[in-house]
Chain A
Amino acid sequence: MAEAEQTLRGLYALRESPADPHLGEDDWLALASGEGPASHRERAIDHVVRCASCARVYRGLTELEEGAREFDKRAPQVLGPAPLDALGTTRWVWWGGLAAAATLVWAIAQPRPALAPAPQPNGSELRGPEQTRPVLLEPLGAVVRWPERLHWEPVAQVRGYRVTILDGEGNELWASPLLAETAIAWPAQVPARAGRVYWQVTAYPQGATDADGVASVLASFDYQR
């Protein structure tokens, strides 16, 4: 991150708080539950990005949502990062844009609690038509222990899966051979590192070529030593 951008963000953080009132408990509840009219949500978001203290509460609720999904699959998914497959591009074109996306993602000036996308398919309005793609189970979100394995839900009628692990810049760190199982021990070739790590599973349907693999969303986890 350029020093100039850090300065700019520092100055932005120092400006006076907005005149409009902070969000109330019901506003937060509506925002975190995806309820209420779009105009209310828009107004709330507009306040959040102008108000340092509400931005922190928003961050807290984002982490709550992500953390809740680890033990409650019905927890909503309305805050936090959009799934990366919502980029509106095809799988192959998407890889080309990953570096740019990662650059922006990584271009956050201030160290802040790591976000946990946990982007499992959930019928979000940002998604395209639902496909039979692997649903990633773990590791997702903030983790305090370096994962011992990668685990995903099975997809019917596939001949195997391939797992790819990437760093925060979108560089491939490791790719598995074709796997029959829906879990694999964490590869020793990728040692523990603090920060965000991305991973993705591609399922290869029976009778199809490798070009017809169906990729999961690109999930990530944040490891803090």
Chain B
Amino acid sequence: MSSPHADAGPLSGRETRFEGMVRQYGRLISTVVARVGGQATSLFREDIEQQVLIELWRQVDREQKIDHPSSYLYRAAVRETVRVLKRELSREAAAPSAEGPGGGESPFQSLAVKEQAAAVEACVAALPVDRQRAVRAHLAGVDVREVMRMHGWPYQKARNLIARGMAELRAALHDRGIHG
């Protein structure tokens, strides 16, 4: 498949760079999907890369004229990453788990865990807005620098909100008999 802007003649330097960047994005997207999508996805990395390349070129083909190739390709790459990741995550969710959602727990244990998870959610939801944001991000595995970027907070604010929010959350859970 070739660039819609390449016509039949030999590729100009700009077009070659454009095609090269499409290939780089194809590889990058498949790498990202393989890492984020988990083990099952990583087995199909080459297939994903091929599909991603085809879809990127399709997106490029739909454009008559691309004024800012770098920006255009980045946006196409974002769209394609979202599509492929959503597809892979849906597939993962639909796949039967070897141990089931509770990891071999008894129904009673499973229920207890669900109740505790609901208690965590209730306690987090009761935190003041900014502390809640900081704690949710922290519990979701987001590091303090990402929290700064996400919310536009300076370091000290992000750090304090996480620390105080987590302390408040632990106290609230303690009151409910959950020691975390």
Contact = CB atoms under 8 A, between A and B. Distances in A.
B159 A101 contact: yes
B148 A108 contact: no
Given A63-B35, A71-B24, A104 B143 contact: yes
Contacts, number: 180
Q: Taking chain B's interface residues, is the majority helix, strand, or loop, or is none over half, making it mixed? A: helix
B75 interface: yes
Interface residues of B, number: 60
Interface string B31-45: 111011100000000
Interface stretch (A43-51, A146-154, A170-178, A202-210): A43-51
Contacts of B150: 45, 49
Interface stretch (A52-60, A130-138, A187-195): A52-60
Given A15-B120, A59-B36, A110 B141 contact: yes
A118 to B, nearest CB: 12
Most A-side CB within 10 Å, residue of B70, B113, B148: B148
A211 interface: no
A24 to B, nearest CB: 9
Interface string A114-127: 01010000000110
Given A64-B81, A72-B24, A117-B145, 6 more contacts: A12-B120, A28-B79, A32-B78, A49-B142, A97-B155, A101-B144
13 contacts: A12-B140, A33-B78, A46-B136, A56-B89, A57-B86, A60-B33, A63-B31, A63-B32, A63-B35, A81-B146, A82-B148, A86-B154, A104-B159
